[in-house]
């Protein structure tokens, strides 16, 4: 009997593919069709939430990039940070976190962890004792960011990891700034490296995603179960955009890095600038730690201007043509933001006498000479 329209519209679906393409197919699928009923409850992949071809290829690539045991994807960088930390604690545990942590991650610790019965102690990222003084008997996780993405303070990663290993705690490192290219936290002994793929991995400001990279099987198992329980998944279109970005990551990062270095060095000579917070400059307080553990510096840094009224900062920002005013970073376009409204750490703790406005620069892939010309013109507006 000929099938009716409503039936054949649903069942006429192309089967195989013509030829393999360079890139994995974007499969938009919640449902996987199994050819044998015996496999429905088998160990293989049976449901789209656990990822399809694109997500699997993205995980494989990230695994290799940071020498991870396993990678779990999340719908955003914040979700990946929450997954990494949330997987490793239970009610009654204690967490130590670097004071300069990315704001939303810090908020996760303050609000969500405390609602789960987990206490967080925030510590100065430059504490010389590897945070030993902040440990309690129930400390299970130490959360670091390398470096903090506003103030560019870098904790002593090896020192903190050593103490954590002695105390039986796991270390989670937010590795977004190095994009997993310039720093390999798992090789240093961290249990988890987290990346907001939204930033450098994606590289085009057009997709959200995060990755939790586990260094050992036990940690990966905890992350796996928590990811399942929280129902975290990353859609195929975003995963595809992130995978596409990842292909050119080393090349882009080289250019971000070289241009940022050039612009940071230019800014350091300007009379309007009090301090440049760029880790590859030897006037950065954490330069030696950076040189020991990193293979490069990416394109994000900050500058403290000499004190000027708020209105002058607004004039400066609004006079820029090539720098966009926008949060986030890691894309091909240059961006800049004044940071003071979102600084949680008291200035006196880390900048000593420097009290002027803090501006963060994301250096994109434009020609650096054009960016410098744009900055030169806008800096002139500070003293109008
Ligand atoms: C942006 C960012 C995140 C969060 O990433 P989203 O994808 O925006 O949620 C986490 N950590 C750092 C250091 C970031 O810069």
What would the DSSP string read from start to end of 348-382? HHHHTT--SPEEEEE--SS-HHHHHHHHHHHHGGG
User: 77 CA to middle of ligand 1, Å?
Assistant: 5
pLDDT at 352: 61
DSSP annotation of 142 reads E
pLDDT at 128: 85
* Ligand 1 lined by 77 (C-beta under 6 Å): yes
Question: Ligand 1 atom closest to Cα of 208?
Answer: 7
User: 140 CA to middle of ligand 1, Å?
Assistant: 23
* Ligand 1 lined by 200 (C-beta under 6 Å): no
Q: Model pTM greater than 0.85? A: yes
Q: In the block, which residue shows the tokens 């990663």?
A: 157
Question: What percent helix, strand, coil does the chain show, rounded to 5?
Answer: 40, 15, 45
Which one, of 217, 306, 200, 209, lies nearest residue 257 by Cα? 200
Question: Ligand 1 atom closest to Cα of 145?
Answer: 13
How far CA 323 is from CA of 73, 200, 203, 289, 316, in Å, comes to 31, 17, 16, 30, 11
Q: In the block, which residue shows the tokens 């009610």?
A: 91
- Name which residue sits closest to atom 5 of ligand 1, judged by CA: 77
* Ligand 1 lined by 195 (C-beta under 6 Å): no
User: 245 CA to middle of ligand 1, Å?
Assistant: 16
Q: What are phi and psi of 382, to 5 degrees?
A: -65, -35
Q: In the block, which residue shows the tokens 């925030």?
A: 122
Among 77, 104, 213, 238, which residue has the most ligand 1 atoms within 8 Å of its CB, making it the best to mutate? 77
Question: Going edge to edge, which strands form the sheet with 324-325?
Answer: 273-277, 300-305, 358-362, 335-338, 324-325
CB count, 10 Å around CB of 229? Answer: 10
CB 144 within 8 A of CB 172: yes
Question: Ligand 1 atom closest to Cα of 81?
Answer: 10
- What are the catalytic residues? 49, 102, 174, 199
- Name which residue sits closest to atom 7 of ligand 1, judged by CA: 77
**C-alpha span between 87 and 70 (Å, rounded):** 14
**C-alpha span between 307 and 206 (Å, rounded):** 36
Burial (CB count within 10 angstroms: exposed 0-12, middle 13-18, buried 19+), residue 57? middle
pLDDT at 167: 98
pLDDT at 8: 87
* Ligand 1 lined by 78 (C-beta under 6 Å): yes
* Ligand 1 lined by 152 (C-beta under 6 Å): no
354 prior amide bond cis, ω within 30: no
Question: Ligand 1 atom closest to Cα of 78?
Answer: 9
pLDDT at 343: 81
Q: What are phi and psi of 212, to 5 degrees?
A: -110, 115
- Name which residue sits closest to atom 10 of ligand 1, judged by CA: 77
CB 75 within 8 A of CB 208: yes
CB count, 10 Å around CB of 245? Answer: 25
Question: Ligand 1 atom closest to Cα of 209?
Answer: 7
- Residue 348 tokens read as 């006196």
What DSSP string describes 187-209? Answer: HHT-SEEEEETTTTTT-SS----
Low-confidence ranges of the chain (pLDDT < 70): 15-16, 344-352
* Ligand 1 lined by 174 (C-beta under 6 Å): yes
Q: Indicate the helix (H) or strand (E) that contains 336.
A: strand 335-338
């Amino acid at each position: 009997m000929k099938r009716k329209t409503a039936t054949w519209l649903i069942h006429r679906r192309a089967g195989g593919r013509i030829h393999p393409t360079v890139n994995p197919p974007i499969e938009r699928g919640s449902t996987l069709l199994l050819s044998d009923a015996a496999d429905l409850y088998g160990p293989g992949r049976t449901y789209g939430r656990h990822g399809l071809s694109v997500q699997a290829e993205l995980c494989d690539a990230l695994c290799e990039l940071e020498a991870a045991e396993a990678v779990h994807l999340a719908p955003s960088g914040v979700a990946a940070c929450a997954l990494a930390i949330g997987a490793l604690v239970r009610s009654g545990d204690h967490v130590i976190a670097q004071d300069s942590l990315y704001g939303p991650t810090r908020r996760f610790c303050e609000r969500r962890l405390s609602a789960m019965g987990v206490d967080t102690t925030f510590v100065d990222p430059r504490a010389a004792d590897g945070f030993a003084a902040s440990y309690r008997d129930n400390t299970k996780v130490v959360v670091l960011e390398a470096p903090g993405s506003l103030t560019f303070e870098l904790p002593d990663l090896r020192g903190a990891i050593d103490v954590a290993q002695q105390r039986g705690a796991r270390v989670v490192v937010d590795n977004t700034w190095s994009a997993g290219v310039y720093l390999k936290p798992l090789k240093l002994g961290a249990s988890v490296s987290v990346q907001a793929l939204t930033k450098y991995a994606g590289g085009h400001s057009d997709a959200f995603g995060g990755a939790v990279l586990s260094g050992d099987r036990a940690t990966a198992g905890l992350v796996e179960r928590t990811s399942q329980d929280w129902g975290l998944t990353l859609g195929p279109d975003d995963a595809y955009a992130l995978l596409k970005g990842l292909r050119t990551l080393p090349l882009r990062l080289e250019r971000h890095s070289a241009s940022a270095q050039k612009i940071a060095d230019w800014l350091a000579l300007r009379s309007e600038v009090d301090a440049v917070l760029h880790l590859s400059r030897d006037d950065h307080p954490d330069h030696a730690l950076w040189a020991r553990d990193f293979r490069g510096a990416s394109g994000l840094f900050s500058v403290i201007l000499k004190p000027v009224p708020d209105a002058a900062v607004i004039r400066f920002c609004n006079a820029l043509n090539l720098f966009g005013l926008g949060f986030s970073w890691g894309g091909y376009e240059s961006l800049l933001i004044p940071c003071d409204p979102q600084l949680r750490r008291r200035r006196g703790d880390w900048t000593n006498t420097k009290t002027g406005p803090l501006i963060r620069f994301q250096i994109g892939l434009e020609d650096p000479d054009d960016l410098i010309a744009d900055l030169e013109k806008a800096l002139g507006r500070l003293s109008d």
